[in-house]
Amino acid sequence: VQLQASGGGLVQAGDSLRLSCAASGRTFSGYTVGWFRQAPGKEREFVACIRRWNDGSIYYADSVKGRFTISRDNTKDTLFLQMNSLKPDDTAVYYCAADPRIIASSVYDPRRYNYWGQGTLVTVSS
């Protein structure tokens, strides 16, 4: 599957932003899909994910719970990340990722995802 992330930009603290990730090439609904982010000088970290098929379980990093909402539209092969109440600490390159075989206990580990988008930069000014 090929992934194309978009929607990043420069916003002020407290603003909202919606990221999109368009998928192509395979049955999108059969993939666990998620968002990761990487700030300068830091490791890539988990943000949120949705499990595949009818499971649909959703997971969030503690740092974004209550502010970010992940969703997917399988009819349009698109993944979304609605980000509200943005903080300067949310500044990072955001990547979408997918994999058809991740088990629930591994969804937080970026090494378990075999398909990645190119990343979109989110900058939050104070």
Q: Is the pLDDT of residue 33 over 80?
A: yes
For 67-92, the pLDDT digits (tens) are 999 999 989 999 999 999 999 999 99
Query: What residues does 70 pair with on adjacent strands?
Result: 81
Percent of the chain whose pLDDT exceeds 90: 87
Integer Cα distance of 56 and 84 in angstroms: 22
Computed over every residue of the chain, the mean pLDDT equals 95
SS3 67: coil
Q: Is the pLDDT of residue 119 over 90?
A: yes
Query: Which residue has tokens 């988008």?
Result: 117
Q: Is the pLDDT of residue 5 over 90?
A: yes
Per-residue model confidence (pLDDT) at position 54: 76
Percent of the chain whose pLDDT exceeds 70: 100
Per-residue model confidence (pLDDT) at position 60: 97
Q: Is the pLDDT of residue 55 over 90?
A: no
Per-residue model confidence (pLDDT) at position 29: 86
